[in-house]
């Protein structure tokens, strides 16, 4: 190939590449101008999301520390027989999402109400929490057992059966629940019903 042809081929190739570059640049500019708002928003999100995440984690950590601080403060008040102030803090903690704190606070409120000789308040409180369905199945079952023990002496059969379903044999606390029901029937001198429930426990 002559020098002139080589030169033309090189020039043609360079021109072709330049045209491709120009077309690509035009496409990029067009794409950017068309989606500029979205790209800027995406860029901002990529920059701010990590900051928000760390800020959120710090907030959650500080919130957890505050919850534990309030709980500890209420425990000290309870130990000093400052029942009203302790009750206020524990009642506030009942609204927290931390289930362990919620259950612990509930137990302390029950203790306070028993000290104040106000057992009816405990039943209202337990019913409110059970109806709110905020608890896990495990804690719900435990709370039903606690309610049954609190109302045991004055409860009627309908109330006890509403707490304990004798057909729920998969319940982790089935044996304990049924034993409470057996004791309930015995206390009411309904021995045939007590024996019926005892058979269910033995069959499990």
Q: What is the pLDDT of residues 87-145, one digit of tens each?
A: 999 999 998 888 888 899 999 999 999 999 888 999 999 999 999 888 899 899 999 99
Predicted confidence at residue 99, as pLDDT, reads 87
What are the backbone angles phi and psi of residue 124, rounded to the nearest 5°? Answer: -60, -45
Q: What is the pLDDT of residues 11-22, one digit of tens each?
A: 556 556 666 666
Residue holding tokens 């027989």? 81
- pLDDT for the residue numbered 168: 86
pLDDT tens, residue by residue, 145-197: 999 999 999 999 999 999 998 888 888 889 999 999 999 999 999 999 999 99
CA distances from 28 to 18, 31, 45, 171 (A): 15, 5, 21, 63
Q: Are 129 and 142 in contact (CB under 8 A)?
A: no
Question: In angstroms, rounded to a whole number, what is the distance separating the alpha carbons of residues 120 and 88?
Answer: 18
**Rg (alpha carbons) of the chain, rounded to whole number:** 35
* pTM for the full predicted model: 0.65
**pLDDT score for 84:** 93
Mean pLDDT (whole number) for 28-55: 67
Do 135 and 129 form a contact (C-beta atoms < 8 A)?
yes
């Amino acid at each position: 190939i002559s020098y002139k042809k080589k030169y033309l081929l090189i020039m043609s190739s360079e021109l072709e590449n330049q045209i491709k570059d120009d077309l690509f640049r035009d496409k990029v500019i067009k794409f950017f101008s068309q989606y500029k708002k979205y790209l800027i928003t995406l860029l901002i999100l990529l920059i701010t999301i990590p900051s928000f995440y760390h800020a959120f984690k710090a907030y959650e950590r500080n919130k957890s520390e505050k919850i534990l601080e309030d709980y500890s403060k209420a425990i000290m008040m309870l130990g000093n027989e400052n029942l009203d102030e302790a009750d206020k803090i524990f009642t506030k903690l009942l609204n927290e999402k931390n289930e362990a704190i919620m259950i612990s606070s509930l137990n302390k409120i029950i203790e306070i109400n028993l000290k104040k000789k106000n057992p009816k308040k405990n039943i209202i409180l337990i019913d409110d929490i059970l109806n709110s369905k905020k608890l896990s199945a495990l804690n719900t079952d435990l709370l039903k057992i606690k309610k049954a023990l609190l109302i045991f002496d004055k409860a009627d059969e309908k109330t006890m059966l509403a707490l304990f379903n004798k057909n729920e044999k998969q319940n982790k606390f089935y044996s304990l629940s049924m034993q409470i029901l057996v004791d309930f029937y015995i206390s009411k001198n309904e021995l045939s019903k007590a024996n019926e429930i005892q058979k269910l426990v033995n069959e499990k």
